[in-house]
Amino acid sequence: MATVKFDEATRIYPGNDTPSVDKLNIDIQDGEFLVLVGPSGCGKSTSLRMLAGLEEVNGGKIWIGDRDVTDLSPKDRDVAMVFQNYALYPHMTVADNMGFALKIAGVDKGEIRKRVEEAAKILDLTQYLERKPKALSGGQRQRVAMGRAIVRSPQVFLMDEPLSNLDAKLRVQTRTQIASLQRRLGVTTVYVTHDQVEAMTMGDRIALLKDGVLQQCATPREMYDNPANLFVAGFIGSPAMNLVTVPASSDGAKFGNHTVTIPREGVEHGGSHVVVGVRPEDVEITTNNDGLELTIDVVEELGADAYVYGTPTDGDISLVGGDDNLAKPFIARVDGRSVPPKGSKVYVYPKAQHMHVFDPESGKRL
């Protein structure tokens, strides 16, 4: 097993002035499951391919354990990669697919069979070893691709959106299997996904990228409770955090006719407004004219809970997206047995202890 270190790692594609990955710094612990997440084109797959040796590193270094692997070829890095499209050989059996890398490396046939059978047992593939890939389901093929990585006993597993070809139910089931398998094997793993729910449920830590720049690297809970900036706040969480631009003064931030106390930095940041972030579950919702008035547009009933989506009636209040600044509805979680009807008016304001305040200009947390 090994640690992994991105040290100011940079990748600039030929013909591009802007780096696709810009001075990436991440320290990954031995045995850790780190998830690289972000929107399409943010540089997460490029970062993974730099670690694998499939992309050139134009600046900085990459370390695996105490070895500088920046200029080593992929075969000398002792990593195993699981791709999005499985990349199985259709004419080979499952056993031959799983043992192929060992065969190329000149490992003894008996040793290959032993390792393949051990991996098949872990992945519940024993009864499929003599089948060809076309006779397997998508989830089984994904497990074969995992098995091919496991038999090599690498220092680091690299996974590039391995679940994106599976249907929703199978994706949930397989991500649980991958996470528990990684815990059991204890192999350092770097996993790429664009799905923040996948990132939150699987990773020991999450590294969130935007435009090739690392925005925050933290545990899922820390990122959820203490987002570093507006982008992180808007990206992490489902449904997304409400981000509302509201007037601010020495008294606090004004939600309609309700004033909430904000940190001193929020008052002293120099602007007349701040962006207040509040999760749907941290919204106080009333009908007694206290707070920001909303008209309920949509109700999502989920049984025990419900989510209401509303539009502010106050023209001075604007809701912003965490990443694209498009107007969006205000979302509040309510008791599923007492849901306000569509078209009704309610008043909302954030619970003070679970409120986040951001600078509207820089996007940084205050």
Band of pLDDT at residue 69, cut at 50, 70 and 90: very high
State yes or no: pLDDT of 183 exceeds 80. yes
> Comparing 21-30, 56-65, 144-153, which segment has the lowest mean pLDDT?
144-153
Contacts of 350 (CB under 8 A, 6+ apart): 255, 260, 276, 278, 282, 283, 284
CB atoms within 10 A of CB 203: 24
User: Are 332 and 308 a contacting pair, CB within 8 Å?
Assistant: yes
Question: Tokens at residue 302, please?
Answer: 């989920």
The CATH code belonging to domain 4-231 is: 3.40.50.300
The 283-286 sheet, strands edge to edge: 283-286, 345-350, 292-301, 305-312, 330-335
pLDDT for 173 beyond 90: no
Q: Residue 162 to residues 3, 122, 234, 329: CA-CA distances in angstroms? A: 22, 18, 25, 33
Tell me the domain boundaries of the chain. 4-231, 241-358
Mean pLDDT score of the chain, rounded to an integer? 88
Burial tier of 172 (Cβ tally within 10 Å: 0-12, 13-18, 19+): middle
Q: How does DSSP assign 256-272, residue by residue? A: TTEEE---HHHHHTSSS
pLDDT of 244 > 70? The answer is: yes
* Amino acid symbol at 323: D
pLDDT of 230-243, one tens digit each?
A: 999 989 988 889 99
Please state, in angstroms and rounded to a whole number, the distance separating the CA atoms of residues 113 and 359: 59
> Between β-strands 79-82 and 156-160, what pairing exists: parallel, antiparallel or unpaired?
parallel
Q: Is residue 10 classed exposed, middle or buried when 0-12, 13-18 and 19+ CB atoms within 10 A define those classes?
A: middle
**Using CB atoms within 10 A of its CB, is residue 252 exposed (0-12), middle (13-18) or buried (19+)?**
buried
Average pLDDT over residues 158-182: 86
Q: What is the pLDDT of residue 322?
A: 43
Distance of CA 250 to the CA centre of its chain: 37
- Comparing 261 with 110, which gets the higher pLDDT? 110
- Predicted local distance difference test score (pLDDT) of residue 268: 67
Query: pLDDT digits over 6-56, tens only?
Result: 999 999 999 988 999 999 999 999 999 999 999 999 999 999 999 999 999
Does residue 318 or residue 135 have the better pLDDT?
A: 135
Pick from 52, 60, 44, 55: nearest CA to 13: 55
Share of residues in the chain with pLDDT > 70 (%)? 94
Enter the tokens of residue 170: 């199978």
Indicate the CATH number for domain 241-358.
2.40.50.140
Average pLDDT over residues 212-223: 95
